[in-house]
Structure 1
Amino acid sequence: MAKDPVRGILGEPVKGKIGVLIEDHFDQTEFRKFNTFFPERGYQVVYLSHLWGNPELTFGSNPDEGYVEEHVIVGTELNDVQPADFKGIILIGAYATDRLRYETNPRKGQPNMSPAVVFLRKAVATPNLKIGTICHSLWLFCADSSLLKGRKVTCAHNIICDVANAGGDVIFDGDQTADLVIDGNLISGKHPAVTDRFMETFLIEIEKAA
């Protein structure tokens, strides 16, 4: 029996809202953990995406077991909110952020103007706002190298070249990328196996900035 999709807004906004950028092919491990960890600690999780003129869209997770196990209904359009509305912003892992950086009409010499990248530029420029990335989600930063140049980060091994080519300084621990890296307002995690540490660290950083 198919599971009911999760609505785009979860929990009670006791301490504030955490915005999570999402699209199809999101990581389901991170998704499940976000939906439990943050609401249990008093934060509302709000899923954000570009809705292409629709009142809401349903997105599915990666088919890790050969089928899509998780769905989320998103009703919050990125163009309608500001990063300052949130205590923190997380870019979910897997291929969702590759889809989010898609531009319908790119122009030669013009920076990426997809709604998600425009939103990310505003987030990076928002004082004291913490931004979390995990696994493949630095792909959204790679859409505009000015957002990543010189930043110390970690990521999944298969996108090291993308991150380095966009100017990021990928931190290693021996012959592996580091599990977790904090560089100012940017908290990056290596892959879904470190999701628990990533969430705990992200929450600490949010509450330090409060």
Structure 2
Amino acid sequence: MPAPKIAILIESDFYEHEIWYYHYRFLEAGYDAQFVTRLWGNEAITFKGHEYHAPFECRGDLEALDDKALDDYAALIVPSGIVSDRLRYTDDLTRIPPASDLLKRAFAKPNLLKGIICHGLWLAAPVVEVVRGRRLTCHPNLHGDAIAYGAEFVDEDVVVDGDLVTARTGGHAHLLASTLIKMIDARQ
């Protein structure tokens, strides 16, 4: 049986502790952690972390993840930090940003787990219907955003609502990852 695949979004100003934790923790669990971003026609982009400016090279193109490709993944993670803010950029305001469109398409697949942590909730701003009425947690600074999106904010470190797993801050990456691993393993 092939290793379960996890897609993890990445961009500049990522929270280094979280991203490196995912890299090693999913590998340790026997999963295929694949980092994806908007490559803008490049073969690869090296991003710098927020706190230590640590480099992280990404070769996975989120725009190549069509609906068929998404079926090969067990989970999609929207990390903390400024990643989601950068990825929700669009140069065409009449279109949903590609990363937000990916999130919307992921929510249309109930078998694909969605992990959103901390400020990752920003990626849902252009597609609030994906979290409207859903129970979730996020960074305290986004409490008002969650309510404005129509979500039911829960004051806990990790919240599971069906195929949606949310965690409060990047410091809770271990809780998000362990919850996703347990859920994926239960499905195997």
CA distance in 2, matches of 1:138, 1:205: 21
- TM-score normalised by length of structure 2: 0.93
User: Which residue of the partner structure matches residue 157 of structure 2?
Assistant: 179
User: Which residue of the partner structure matches residue 14 of structure 2?
Assistant: 26
User: Which residue of the partner structure matches residue 172 of structure 2?
Assistant: 194
User: Which residue of the partner structure matches residue 76 of structure 1?
Assistant: 60
CA distance in 1, matches of 2:128, 2:121: 11
Conserved? CA contact 1:58–1:72, under 8 Å:
yes
Conserved? CA contact 1:95–1:136, under 8 Å:
yes
Shift of 1:21: 0.8
Residue in structure 2 matching 1:139, options 116, 122, 126: 122
Conserved? CA contact 2:79–2:170, under 8 Å:
no
1:91 paired to 2:69: no
Conserved? CA contact 2:18–2:171, under 8 Å:
no
Partner of 1:149, secondary structure, is coil
CA distance in 1, matches of 2:73, 2:56: 20
Shift of 1:161: 1.1
CA distance in 1, matches of 2:103, 2:174: 24
Q: Which runs of 5+ in 1 are unaligned?
A: 1-12, 173-177
Shift of 1:208: 2.3
- Runs of 4+ in structure 1 off by over 4 angstroms are none
Shift of 1:142: 2.2
Partner of 2:76, secondary structure, is strand
User: Which residue of the partner structure matches residue 9 of structure 1?
Assistant: none
Identity over aligned residues, as a percent?
A: 30
Counterpart AA for 2:171: A
Q: Which runs of 5+ in 2 are unaligned?
A: none
User: Which residue of the partner structure matches residue 163 of structure 1?
Assistant: 146
Shift of 1:45: 1.0
Shift of 1:130: 0.5
- TM-score normalised by length of structure 1: 0.83
**CA RMSD, Structure 1 to Structure 2 (Å):** 1.5
The structure where helix makes up a greater share of residues is 2
Conserved? CA contact 2:12–2:47, under 8 Å:
yes
Partner of 1:87, secondary structure, is strand
Conserved? CA contact 1:50–1:100, under 8 Å:
yes
